Amino acid sequence: MVEIGGVCRAWLPLYLYSVELPTDMKLIQYEDVREGDRMKIAKSAERLLEPL
């Protein structure tokens, strides 16, 4: 969850490793950083922190 000025703004799930997800989880938007790719994780973290 991203908090800006004390207000919760959004969730940002990170999909780190391939797994079989339940149907309802497949419908959620997420950052695809599979298979624990450090560069993708770093870029996602930068995007997450930009508004702060």
DSSP string, the chain: -EEETTEEEE---EE-S-----HHHHTS--EE-TTT-HHHHHHHHHHHHTT-
pLDDT at 35: 84
- pLDDT of residue 1 exceeding 70, the answer is no
Q: Which domain holds residue 35?
A: 2-49
How many domains does the chain contain in total? 1
pTM, full prediction:
0.55
State residue 30's pLDDT score: 76
pLDDT tens, 17-47? 888 877 776 667 778 888 878 998 898 888 8
